[in-house]
Amino acid sequence: MTNLTHKARQVFGHDIYATETTGVVIEAVEQQFARCSLTIGPGLRNAMGAVMGGVMFTLADLAFAAAANSICLEQDKPIAWVTTGSSIEFLSQPKDNTLIAETECIKQGRTSCLFLVHITDGQNRRVAVVTARGSYLGQ
């Protein structure tokens, strides 16, 4: 486990909804990159048995937060990047009980950033894409 991954797990472990309620696990964090996963249990499904859209959105949001704040974590500064807008496109339902989110940094400047978050299932089939915009709040 990299030092950034360890720091991200410590900091974002305080995000109780994502990490405990939903069960998102931060797998890896590098500069401007994060990979998070979760196992889909019965409590994360809707009345039709499909994965709740909010579950996928939560997974993507935590991956974005870890990736965007990787610079702060690397410099041992408090996290300061926040989501200012996101959109999600649902492409298909997962074929198994695993969801994986990986970030792609499009641009991260001094005060704003744009990331894509690709969500796949455990068979590497794309199930959703999230566009996440963020702002730097400073210290």
- Reported as a pLDDT band with limits 50, 70 and 90, residue 21 is very high
CATH classification of the domain holding 46: 3.10.129.10
33 Rama class: left (phi>0) / alpha (psi -120 to 50) / beta? beta
Total domains present in the chain? 1
34-48: average pLDDT: 95
Domain, as residue range, for 82? 3-136
Q: Which residues partner with 81 through β-bridges?
A: 136
- What does the buried/exposed string (b/e) look like for 88-101 if buried means 16 or more CB atoms within 10 Å of the residue's CB? beeeeebeeeebbb
For residue 66, with 0-12 CB atoms within 10 Å meaning exposed, 13-18 middle and 19 or more buried, which class applies? buried
Q: Is the pLDDT of residue 112 over 70?
A: yes
Q: What is the pLDDT of residues 52-77, one digit of tens each?
A: 999 999 999 999 999 999 999 999 99
31-40: average pLDDT: 98
- Reported as a pLDDT band with limits 50, 70 and 90, residue 139 is low
**pLDDT at position 90, please?**
97
Q: Is the pLDDT of residue 18 over 90?
A: yes
